[in-house]
Amino acid sequence: MQQKYSNLKMLAVLAGICVISAGLLGYAHISTAERIRENREARIRDAVGKVLAGIDSYERINSEPVIFKGMTQGEIAGYAVLYEGMGFQGTIQLLIGLDPDIHMMKGMAVLDSVETPGLGDRIKGPDFGKQFEQMGIPGEGEIKVDTITGATISSLAVEKIINRAIGDAKRIL
C-alpha cells in the first residue's frame, strides 16, 4: 500500500510540474511570438534595403525560394533572392540583390551564419561584400568570388549559394 501511494505521488508531482511548465511556456511563447516575427521582418527589410539600394518599396513575389521585387518610382529596380546553403559549420542564409535583367548583381547581405568568428564570419564584412556591388553576371550565370585568406571554404560556399540563387532566379523570373 505504501509503495502504491508513493508511486502515485511520484506521478502527481512530475505531471504537476510538467503542466505548470507547459502553461508558463505557452504564455511566454504567445507573448513573445509577435516581437520575434517583427525582429525577423525588420532584419529582412534592412537587408533588402541594403542589397537593392535606393528602392522606395518592395514586395514578396515568390516563395521557394523567397524573392522580393524592389520598386523605384513605379519601375522595377531589381530583385532580392533569399537563399541558403551549407557553409563551413552550418547553414549560411544570404540575400542576393539582382538587377531587373539579371545581368548584374547589386549586392549581397548575410542574414544568418555560424561561421568561425574572425575567419569565416568575415563574409559578413564590408571588404568581402563590396565585390558583389555592380558585379556582372557572365552569360552562363556563374560568378566567381575573390576568396578571403583563411576562409576559403566559407567564401566558396557563398559563391555556390549565389550561383544557385541566380540559376533559380533566371528560371523563375
The DSSP line for the chain is -HHHHHHHHHHHHHHHHHHHHHHHHHHHHHHHHHHHHHHHHHHHHHHHHHHTTT-SEEEEEETTTEEEEEEETTEEEEEEEEEEEE-SSSEEEEEEEE-TTSSEEEEEEEEE--PPTTTGGGGGSHHHHGGGTTEEPPTT----PPPPTT-HHHHHHHHHHHHHHHHHHHHH-
Contact between 45 and other proteins by CB under 8 A: the answer reads no
Counting contacts by CB under 8 A, is residue 86 touching other proteins?
A: no
Check residue 134 for interaction with other proteins (CB under 8 A).
Answer: no
> Can you tell me which of 6, 57, 91, 152 binds other proteins, judged by CB under 8 A?
6
**Cβ closer to other proteins: 150 or 167?**
150
- Which of these ranges, 26-34, 51-59, 91-99, 131-139, lies near other proteins under the rule CB under 8 A? 26-34
Using CB under 8 A as the binding rule, whether residue 119 contacts other proteins is answered as yes
Tell me the window of 9-17, 52-60, 63-71, 100-108 that interacts with other proteins (CB under 8 A). Answer: 9-17
50 near other proteins (CB under 8 A)? no
- Site for other proteins, rule CB under 8 A: 6, 9-10, 13-14, 17-18, 21, 24-25, 28-29, 32, 35-36, 39, 43, 112, 114, 116-119, 150
